Amino acid sequence: MSRYRGPRVKIIRRLGTLPGLSNGMLKSGSGYTDQSTANRKITQYRIRLEEKQKLRFHYGLTERQLLKYVRIARRAKGSTGQILLQLLEMRLDNIVFRLGMAPTIPGARQLVNHRHIVINDGTVDIPSYSCKPRDVITIRDRKESRSIIARNMDIYQRRVIPNHLTLDSTHFRGSINQVIDREWIDLEINELLIVEYYSRQV
């Protein structure tokens, strides 16, 4: 299954707020009801499926990518759900988004694809690149790169930087201090339901 490229508002109305997918909020009282889900019976399968879909759309993953992360998390020691979230939070596109260098994760993915992002003095153009503690994220020393990211950081300067990251906005420099703590993940989700959803597939 390919990455979703359709209307983002449609997904948000169905699944709720997804900070990584859209930086805008739906207007309250819009009167819109998603008829495709409004009359469906609420089953345990549907609840688990919607939690999985939240995770997938928030981080901009394909089904195959998400299944791969679930399998890695299952093999690791510790809580599978928490490790899964930590793996996704350490993706380069998400780190760029969390530092406020891009308005959304798709926007961050575009910055990485266009080679605007540098890690430890080396340009990286793979959005799924797995960052590690002590990695330093900066931008290429180009006028275009600085202009794009300076504009994004001016607009989203009020974004709260999570505890595992440090940002030096003057020098467009971010660093990873540690693996993120669960309480700093800004997506309202029950990761245990996602693990249960995939229990027969991994």
Domains and CATH numbers, the chain: 8-87+187-197 (1.10.1050.10), 91-178 (3.10.290.10)
Grade residue 141 by pLDDT with cuts at 50, 70 and 90: confident
Cα gap 138→122, rounded to integer Å: 10
Please answer whether residues 185 and 89 qualify as being in contact, where contact means their C-beta atoms are separated by less than 8 angstroms.
yes
How far apart are the C-alpha atoms of 116 and 105, rounded to whole Å? 15
Cβ-Cβ contacts under 8 Å for 157 (sequence gap 6 or more): 100, 169
Q: What is the per-residue pLDDT for 6? A: 65
Q: Please give the model's pTM, rounded to 2 decimal places.
A: 0.85
Q: How confident is the model at residue 29, as a pLDDT?
A: 39
pLDDT tens digits for range 148-192: 999 888 876 667 889 899 999 889 999 999 999 999 998 899 999
Average pLDDT over all residues of the chain: 86
Cβ(137)–Cβ(174) below 8 Å: yes
pLDDT of residue 11: 76
Return the minimum-mean-pLDDT range out of 40-54, 78-92, 117-131, 147-161. Answer: 147-161
Q: Is residue 67 pLDDT above 50, yes or no?
A: yes
Counting residues of the chain whose pLDDT is more than 90, the rounded percentage is 61
**Token output for 81:** 């759900």
